[in-house]
């Protein structure tokens, strides 16, 4: 299986490290020819995870995304969700035929509030059985430092999920497999919104006691949204007996890809969404917070997308709705969190 990677930010760079550490040659897209030359000359990706060393014999770098797709069997998409449409739509409509796609996107495409698999189905008639996702909890910075991390691979074809996951397993990375392709993606979108909220609380000088209650309520809110979207596996704490230790029980909402990813994104200093939220809580305007950050905080556009999606789903989401109103409707952070205080249990 030949891998291609679309995206050269911190997460795309971390994925490139994992695959090349396992000896895989990768076709890797970077929009900047200058950055490509720097990587090949210095064996590092200077703007992102600059301490990560690459064996450049395993790198096939190009500024043409179509070339990466044509030369790869399995394409990992690690582009910020806001830029996916502009990069993929100009491509030939048949370019993904007989390809496999692994989404490493932790957001939702904002133009039409679509997950990547739904966008690919509409625009490229791409079949769900060839679509997979890879999600955390897994900060790129800790992958770079080779601190033990876990990634969950999801898809409806169990055999292919296992095959893909096996290519990523290293001494510092364990892999988990499940079939919940929609649930894990929506959970990844939602946890970024709640992490922005956790950051706002920190910026407003709330303490750890409040933050723990906020995150516990956010977890419950997330589970309610997933149930409303038709996900059937939300039974907190229930475990199955497993024939294979790497297979996540399909009904365990406490699994790492759901609750674990929410916790690390809300608490970790590496979390860009938490950092973004903290600046909002400290009084920064959204635009100034965006300019100050060198990376995209997916929770900002996701808050609007989920707010719009939930007009049809009608899940009870007071925390996510308040984050949306703070970011998009000029509700003051102080007033918003005063409202949140009254609904937490």
User: Given this model, what pLDDT does residue 253 score?
Assistant: 65
pLDDT category at 269 given cuts 50, 70, 90 is confident
Measured CA distances, 128 to 33, 104, 197 (Å): 33, 15, 32
Please check the confidence at residue 223 and state whether its pLDDT lies above 80: yes
What are the backbone dihedrals phi and psi of residue 275, each rounded to the nearest 5 degrees, phi first?
-60, -45
User: Given this model, what pLDDT does residue 160 score?
Assistant: 97
Name the residue ranges covered by the structural domains of the chain.
3-179, 183-341
Mean pLDDT, residues 256-281: 92
Tens of pLDDT, residues 71-129:
999 999 999 999 999 999 999 999 999 999 999 998 899 989 999 999 999 999 999 99
Residue predicted with more confidence, 239 or 281: 281
Please check the confidence at residue 54 and state whether its pLDDT lies above 50: yes
Please check the confidence at residue 248 and state whether its pLDDT lies above 50: no
Percent of the chain with pLDDT over 90: 77
Mean pLDDT, residues 279-292: 92
3-class state of residue 182 by DSSP: helix
Please check the confidence at residue 249 and state whether its pLDDT lies above 70: no
CB 191 within 8 A of CB 180: no
Joined tokens for residue 99: 């390809």
Longest dimension (CA), the chain: 58
Look up tokens 């060198």; give the residue: 294
User: Given this model, what pLDDT does residue 252 score?
Assistant: 60
Distance CA 23, CA 103 (A): 21
User: Given this model, what pLDDT does residue 324 score?
Assistant: 98
Mean pLDDT, residues 56-79: 97
Enter the CATH code of domain 3-179: 3.40.50.720
Distance CA 51, CA 277 (A): 27
Percent of the chain with pLDDT over 70: 93
What are the backbone dihedrals phi and psi of residue 261, each rounded to the nearest 5 degrees, phi first?
-65, -35
Mean pLDDT, residues 267-288: 93
Joined tokens for residue 136: 């955390």
DSSP 249: P
Look up tokens 């490139």; give the residue: 16
Joined tokens for residue 106: 């932790």
Joined tokens for residue 186: 């929506």
Give the least confident one: 38-42, 64-68, 221-225, 227-231.
227-231
Distance CA 121, CA 252 (A): 28
Please check the confidence at residue 251 and state whether its pLDDT lies above 70: no
User: Given this model, what pLDDT does residue 233 score?
Assistant: 55
Distance CA 57, CA 259 (A): 38
pLDDT category at 14 given cuts 50, 70, 90 is very high
Following DSSP, what letter does each residue of 293-318 receive, concatenated? -SS--THHHHHHHHHHHHHHH----H
CATH class of 183-341: mainly alpha
Give every CB contact of residue 222 below 8 A, 6+ residues apart in sequence.
187, 190, 191, 194, 258, 262
Secondary structure E strands in the chain: 3-6, 26-29, 59-62, 74-77, 100-103, 131-135, 149-154, 173-178
Please check the confidence at residue 239 and state whether its pLDDT lies above 90: no
pLDDT category at 238 given cuts 50, 70, 90 is very low
pTM, rounded to two decimals: 0.90
CA atoms within 13 A on the CB side of 284: 18
Joined tokens for residue 215: 């995150």
Residue predicted with more confidence, 246 or 194: 194
Strands 149-154 and 131-135: antiparallel
Most confident of 16-30, 35-49, 220-234, 291-305: 16-30
Please check the confidence at residue 240 and state whether its pLDDT lies above 80: no
């Amino acid at each position: 299986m030949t891998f291609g990677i679309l995206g050269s930010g911190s997460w795309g760079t971390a994925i490139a490290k994992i695959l090349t550490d396992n000896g895989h040659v990768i076709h890797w897209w970077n929009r900047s020819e200058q950055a490509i030359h720097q990587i090949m000359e210095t064996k590092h990706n200077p703007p992102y995870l600059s301490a990560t060393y690459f064996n450049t014999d395993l790198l096939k770098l190009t500024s043409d995304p179509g070339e990466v797709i044509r030369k790869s069997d399995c394409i990992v998409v690690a582009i910020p969700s806001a830029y996916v449409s502009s990069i993929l739509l100009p491509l030939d409509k048949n370019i993904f035929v007989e390809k496999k796609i692994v989404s490493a996107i932790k957001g939702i495409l904002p133009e039409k509030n679509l997950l990547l698999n739904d966008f690919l189905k509409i625009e490229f008639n791409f079949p769900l059985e060839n679509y997979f996702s890879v999600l955390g909890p897994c900060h790129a910075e800790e992958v770079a430092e080779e601190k033990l991390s876990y990634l969950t691979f999801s898809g409806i074809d169990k055999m292919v999920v296992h095959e893909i996951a096996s290519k990523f397993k290293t001494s510092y990375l364990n892999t988990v497999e499940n079939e919940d392709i929609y649930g894990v993606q929506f959970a990844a979108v939602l946890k970024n919104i709640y992490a922005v909220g956790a950051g706002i609380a920190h910026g407003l000088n709330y303490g750890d006691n409040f933050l723990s209650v906020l995150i516990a309520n956010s977890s419950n809110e997330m589970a309610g949204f997933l149930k409303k979207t038709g996900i059937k596996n939300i039974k907190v704490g229930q475990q199955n007996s497993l024939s294979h230790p790497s297979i996540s029980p399909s009904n365990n909402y406490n699994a790492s890809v759901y609750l674990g990813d929410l916790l690390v994104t809300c608490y970790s200093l590496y979390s860009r969404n938490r950092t973004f939220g903290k600046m909002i809580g400290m009084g920064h305007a959204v635009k100034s917070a965006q300019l100050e950050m060198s990376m995209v905080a997916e929770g900002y556009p996701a808050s609007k997308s989920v707010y719009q999606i939930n007009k049809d789903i009608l899940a009870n989401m007071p925390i996510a709705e308040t984050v949306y109103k703070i970011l998009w409707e000029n509700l003051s952070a102080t007033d918003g969190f005063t409202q949140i205080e009254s609904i937490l249990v």
